[in-house]
Amino acid sequence: MAMEEGALAKVKLVAAVVVLEMLIAGFHVVSRAALDMGVSKMAFLVYRNGSALLVIAPVAYFLEKKDRPPLTLRLMIDFFMLAAVGVTFTQGLYILGLYYLSPTYVSVIQNSVPAITFVMAAVLRDAINDNTFRGYPQTERRYSYPESKIYLDRRMSHHVCELSLFVWMDGSAAPFFESNIERWKIHSGGELLTILYAGVVVLGIAWYIMIWCINKGGPHFVSVFQPLQTVMVAIMASIFLGDRLYIGGVIGAVVIVAGLYCVLWAKSKETKSNGDLLSERSLAQNLLHEESYIMIEDL
């Protein structure tokens, strides 16, 4: 019975990760579709984060009402830095890159972010904690550059209410503006649908699915499914956007994915080695404790 429950839990976890990758893959395609419709890059970012804010804010308010720390100057500075690096700068460059490149290429490039993150974390001597939610920003690679991930990991230790943190991040993105008022208008239902999907579905629903998957399976388990997202993006872009696949692009994608798995394999070995070392230390401490207890009894 226990084995069946464990297998069922594993199936649920895998299904959740697959759905997560599908939602993120759709985000790449939908964002490019919005740009092709003529939606302003800056307006898209504001409306996207604004719609996500409307979804996350009530949840954060009710779930973390008692645990939310007081708003201090230090937290305000943290929010500004996170919004500047992790929201404004990162999303702006993402949209700009997506405007000039295909969604498939953008998804492939993002596969290299975990490797860059680990290298930067090692250079900056940043401790990676894989057993808590704070280990997530160093392996999650979708919305932030490595700099913001490492900074986010350090700031999260001072702010335990993750939902409230990202509400403030989305709210801090409001200063984005477009000089042309006409560019702020939504002219069709398709434009509205793309904005709501990018904000509500991806930054709202997909975010909670991601947190659940990481809590259940760990950050490395979720990262292993990243190449599946690239395949989904290629298929969706080919069907809905008419993108063509080239042999050179496929080869490059294979190389990047192989590099991703090398990083994940090395990290899993490192984690296992650290776990074995901790187990040996714990065993030695228990043996010493038992030996001391026996000696006390003999006295």
Q: Which residues contact 48 (CB under 8 A, 6 or more apart)?
A: 195, 198, 199, 203
Boundaries of domain holding 168: 13-247
Is residue 279 assigned to a domain? no
Q: SS3 of 244, please?
A: coil
Per the CB < 8 A criterion, the answer to whether 78 and 212 are in contact is: no
Report if residue 280 sits inside a domain.
Answer: no
How far is it, in rounded angstroms, from Cα 28 to Cα 106? 8
Task: Please tell me the predicted confidence (pLDDT) of residue 80.
Answer: 73
| Residues 6 or more apart in contact with residue 123 via CB below 8 angstroms | none
Q: Quote the pLDDT of residue 231.
A: 83
CA atoms of 182 and 177, how far apart (whole Å) = 12
Burial class (CB in 10 A: 0-12, 13-18, 19+), 52: buried
Per the CB < 8 A criterion, the answer to whether 87 and 49 are in contact is yes
Does 275 map to a domain?
no
In a domain, 257, yes or no: no
Please count the other Cβ atoms lying within 10 Å of the Cβ belonging to residue 140.
21
Greatest mean pLDDT range, 20-24, 102-106, 268-272, 290-294: 20-24
Mean pLDDT of 184-209: 87
Q: Is residue 20 part of a domain?
A: yes
* Mean pLDDT, residues 148-177 taken together: 51
- Tell me if 3 is assigned to some domain: no
Whether 185 is covered by a domain: the verdict is: yes
Per-residue pLDDT tens over the stretch 210-257:
888 888 887 767 777 877 888 889 889 988 888 887 777 678 767 766
pLDDT value of residue 299: 42
Task: Flag the least confident range among 146-155, 198-207, 256-265, 287-296.
Answer: 287-296
Q: If we measure between CA atoms, which residue out of 91, 107, 112 comes closest to residue 199?
A: 91
Q: Are the CB atoms for 141 and 219 separated by under 8 Å? A: no
Q: For the chain, how many structural domains are there in total?
A: 1
pTM: 0.67
291 domain residue, yes or no: no
Considering only residues 297 and 165, tell me which one the structure prediction assigns the higher pLDDT: 165
Band (27; pLDDT cuts 50, 70, 90): very high
